[in-house]
Amino acid sequence: MAARTILSTQCLYTAARRAYSSNTDKNVAFLGLGNMGGFMAANLVKKGFTVRGYDPSKDALNAAAKNGVTPANSIAAAVDGVDVVVSILTSNKVVLDVYLGKDGVVAHAKKGSLLIDSSTIDPNVPKQIFPIALEKGLGFTDAPVSGGVMGAQNATLAFMAGGRKEDFERSLPLLKVMGAKQFHCGQIGSGQVAKLTNNMLMGITGMATAECMNMGIKMGLEPKVLLDVLNNSSARSWSTEVYCPVPGLVPTAPSSRNYDGGFKNELMVKDLELASGMALGIRSPIPLGAVATQLYRIVQSRGYGQKDFSFVFQLLKEENKN
């Protein structure tokens, strides 16, 4: 069972300003150059940072190189001599291996470096890394993001950071280049708590939007009329305004691109499972979160894990035919 730890914190919002000090750390290692990390690293290059990147995927490395990122052939080579290490990785195990492994970040980063992990993981993982990094003379902050691939591409991400205030303040010049909003949420791990809370709510509202739009359309309402009503009524939400699950209604939503290029359903399942584990550790009831987790698991079990999580609309639509 997860540790029964309650973080009593207040997230402090810092407005984005695109300029940064001439004294900013300029040499950056970026670990994880996939759908999110590739764009985030490219945005750092655009603003004058020297970025060395590593990813086990050669395709990801080659794509990043086209955007000015210098490829490295290992984690150790990527972090050698840099001022700041930024990572966005896939799982608890990967993060622990990358940071604490024999050939990992903590073993090879220079003393005084700042480590920023933007992965979405269990809050206990940064708590394991932080004291070891501190002992080695390294700063560390957990700073997961919200905003998806579009936010990474357009540098409009929201960062939720946990850790020492001085590490957060040192990270701001980089976070402001990659995103529009930055929140210091408190002690180490609190960024993950904020992110998992956000993503559970996102999964629940996404599921509810898909369910109710499917019902209204099945009853004969024109999809566009229904969406206009929702967006001008009390049910308005990010899921209706920005991320509508019905294809063709919001051109920039993944649903209008065959549910590709968004937040993969398999990642939604992972985050909901992490949030469920966190809730279990403090005995916080999550009846809606549990239902959402099971529904997105069904989508994944039917072979649609690589599609955006809003594909749940298609699952519900298909159920009408049975």
Same domain, 35 and 175: yes
pLDDT exceeds 90 at position 1:
no
pLDDT given at position 226: 98
Is 134 contained in some domain?
yes
Is 31 contained in some domain?
yes
- Answer with the one of 128, 162, 187 that is the final residue of a domain: 187
Q: How confident is the model at residue 321 (pLDDT cuts 50, 70, 90)?
A: low
Is 285 contained in some domain?
yes
Neighbours of 104 (CB within 10 A): 19
pLDDT given at position 320: 58
Q: How confident is the model at residue 21 (pLDDT cuts 50, 70, 90)?
A: very low
Same domain, 131 and 267: no
Q: Which two tokens stand for residue 153?
A: 């591409």
Same domain, 182 and 251: no
pLDDT exceeds 70 at position 40:
yes
The domain that holds 42 is classified in CATH as: 3.40.50.720
Domain count, the chain: 2
Q: Which of 26, 176, 181, 195 is catalytic?
A: 195
Same domain, 35 and 155: yes
pLDDT given at position 23: 59
- Answer with the one of 131, 162, 187 that is the final residue of a domain: 187
Same domain, 39 and 181: yes
Same domain, 175 and 38: yes
Rounded Cα distance between 185 and 307, Å, is 31
Report the percent of the chain where pLDDT is more than 70. 92
Report the percent of the chain where pLDDT is more than 90. 88
- Answer with the one of 160, 187, 214 that is the final residue of a domain: 187
pLDDT exceeds 80 at position 10:
no
Is 236 contained in some domain?
yes
How does DSSP assign 267-296, residue by residue?
A: HHHHHHHHHHHHHHHTT---HHHHHHHHHH
What does the mean pLDDT of the chain come to? 93
Phi-psi region of 220 (alpha: psi -120 to 50; beta: other; left: phi over 0): left
How does DSSP assign 214-271, residue by residue?
A: HHHHHTT--HHHHHHHHHTSTT--HHHHT--SSTTSSTTSGGGGTT-SS-BHHHHHHH
Which string of b and e fits 16-42 if b means at least 16 CB within 10 Å?
A: beeebeeebbbebbbbbbbbbbbbbbb
Is 4 contained in some domain?
no
pLDDT tens across 121-166, in order?
999 999 999 999 999 999 999 999 998 888 999 999 999 999 999 9
pLDDT exceeds 70 at position 17:
no
pLDDT exceeds 80 at position 236:
yes
CA 89, chain centre distance (Å): 9
Domain span at residue 244? Answer: 194-319
Is 183 contained in some domain?
yes
The domain that holds 217 is classified in CATH as: 1.10.1040.10
Q: What is the 3-state secondary structure (H, E, C) of 90-138?
A: CCHHHHHHHHHCCCCHHHHCCCCCEEEECCCCCCHHHHHHHHHHHHCCC
Is 3 contained in some domain?
no
pLDDT exceeds 80 at position 38:
yes
Same domain, 183 and 261: no
Asked about 181 being catalytic, the answer comes back as: no
Cβ-in-10-Å burial (0-12, 13-18, 19+) of 273 comes to: middle
What is the reported pTM? 0.88
pLDDT tens across 52-91, in order?
999 999 999 999 999 999 999 999 999 999 999 999 999 9
Is 114 contained in some domain?
yes
Rounded Cα distance between 222 and 211, Å, is 15
pLDDT given at position 6: 43
Which string of b and e fits 223-250 if b means at least 16 CB within 10 Å?
A: eeebbeebeeeeeebebbeebbbbbebb
Q: Poorest-confidence range of 175-179, 246-250, 262-266? A: 262-266
Same domain, 123 and 140: yes
pLDDT given at position 16: 41
Same domain, 153 and 116: yes
